[in-house]
Structure 1
Amino acid sequence: MSAFTDWDILRNLLLAARWTVALSLIAFAGGALVGLLLTFMQISGRVVLVQMTRLYVELFQGTPLLMQLFLVFFGISLFGIDVSPWTAAALALTLFSSAYLTEIWRGCIESIPKGQWEASRCLGLNYVEVMYHIILPQALRIAIAPTVGFSVQIVKGTALASIIGFVELTKAGTMLNNATFEPFKVFGFVALIYFLLCYPLSVASRMLERKLHASG
């Protein structure tokens, strides 16, 4: 008979969920920084930068996140560098999220009518002034909702980090299941916690889309 009470199981899962949240925040922040740089590279108009960015985006969008985790975790060690599961998971999720955020933000910028670019140039504004005063404020309004919505994918993506030994919510659930032999109860709690993490983000995304009238 299991020595774990329901509260013991839930408490341990909540403790592990802290690492899920921490990893999600790091991946989102890192992905946003890299994605912002790549977005400006892609809209720069310079052929070399555009092609490099497209290759990067297609590489990370066209391969499974699980494979990326394996390549980062085992690949870097080939160079004699000891990589912890935490570092490998953070790096892989950062690269993964940056590729998708780049495409989201590029699409938002390019959705601004070309006439606004032309009108701004007619007023004598240079490229930086056009971007800062005209294009980016409108693109930001459009980008907020899909960016918040994509954060749900990052949270769910952290579950794959359990494969390389990172102890987050899913890994903790597996360990507790091995100790209690109650998979329905343990993974039911795991699913509930993921839902409580992701549902507010989904609601916030829909609310922001309606509030900012992004579709219009």
Structure 2
Amino acid sequence: MLIRPFGINEFWIIVMAAQWTIALSAIAFAGGGVGGLLIALARVSDAKWPRLLATGFIRVFQGTPLLMQLFLVFFGMNIMGFAINPWIAAAVALTLHASAFLGEIWRGCIEAIPPGQREAATALGLRYVNRMRYIILPQASRIAIAPTVGFLVQLIKGTSLAAIIGFTELTRQGQIINNATFSPFMVFGTVAAVYFILCWPLSLLARRMEVKFSRSTTR
């Protein structure tokens, strides 16, 4: 087996693989945002059955490892006769994972709004949908910015597990290059540096948003 040295070409192959990490994170975050909003609204619904369904969904996806969820979607669909490639499987599993966590984060933000706001809206005759649309969600969205950005950082790092099912994102590309060069320090050092470059600005943004919100609420 020919072992080649780790050079500039290998470096750029790893860096370019970050586009797939970014794409997978964006799809999972967008899909998780839609699912998370529906779950959050169901969790604070006046009806009992949406609350029960949303609670069950959250418990399943928060109570099981993301790696197992990837396995179940990828191998489970193939076993049942539905051919699914690693890209689709990773996107579906991460979207469901993000939906559960964002739903619970946003549920907490909605319930952080003082009960008086909800009671006043009800007294004005606003139904559930209008209460949420005009009164609750605009206020909750300000609280949700910092934890949502913080979760996005975790989601980006979580995409590395998609390498297990064969999706060639940043971590998987690092594994391929390492197998060809046998330079684990250089290869995975580069991979770690790319993850840091992707996540660090978002971590700073989340911290600043949290500080900004805490200051605004104390005034």
Q: TM-score w.r.t. structure 2 length?
A: 0.94
Match of 2:134 in 1: 133
Q: Does 1:155 align with 2:160?
A: no
Match of 2:63 in 1: 62
SS of 2:150 mapped into structure 1: helix
Alpha-carbon separation, structure 2, partners of 1:87 and 1:44: 31
Match of 1:116 in 2: 117
Query: Contact 1:70 / 1:164 at 8 angstroms: preserved in 2?
Result: yes
**Pairwise CA distance, 1:214:** 7.4
Match of 1:186 in 2: 187
Alpha-carbon separation, structure 1, partners of 2:30 and 2:123: 37
| CA offsets 1:26-80 (integer angstroms, 9 cap, x no match) | 0000111111111111111221111111110000000000000000001011221
**Pairwise CA distance, 1:170:** 0.5
For the structure 1 residues 214 and 83, does the alpha-carbon distance in structure 2 shift closer, same or farther, using more than 3 Å as the test? farther
Where does structure 2 lack aligned partners over 5 or more consecutive residues?
none
SS of 1:134 mapped into structure 2: helix
Alpha-carbon separation, structure 1, partners of 2:128 and 2:51: 17
Alpha-carbon separation, structure 1, partners of 2:92 and 2:135: 34
Alpha-carbon separation, structure 1, partners of 2:128 and 2:93: 34
Aligned pair count reads 216
Query: Contact 1:142 / 1:214 at 8 angstroms: preserved in 2?
Result: no
Alpha-carbon separation, structure 2, partners of 1:215 and 1:23: 34
| CA offsets 1:171-190 (integer angstroms, 9 cap, x no match) | 11111111111101100000
Alpha-carbon separation, structure 2, partners of 1:80 and 1:127: 42
Structure 1 segment 16-95 matched on structure 2, within 5 A? 16-95=17-96
Identity score, percent: 56
Residue type of the alignment partner of 2:64: T
For the structure 1 residues 121 and 48, does the alpha-carbon distance in structure 2 shift closer, same or farther, using more than 3 Å as the test? closer
- Cα RMSD between the aligned structures? 1.6
Alpha-carbon separation, structure 2, partners of 1:162 and 1:38: 28
Residue type of the alignment partner of 1:74: F
Residue type of the alignment partner of 1:185: M
**Pairwise CA distance, 1:215:** 8.2
Match of 1:143 in 2: 144
Match of 1:170 in 2: 171
SS of 1:95 mapped into structure 2: helix
**Pairwise CA distance, 1:125:** 3.1
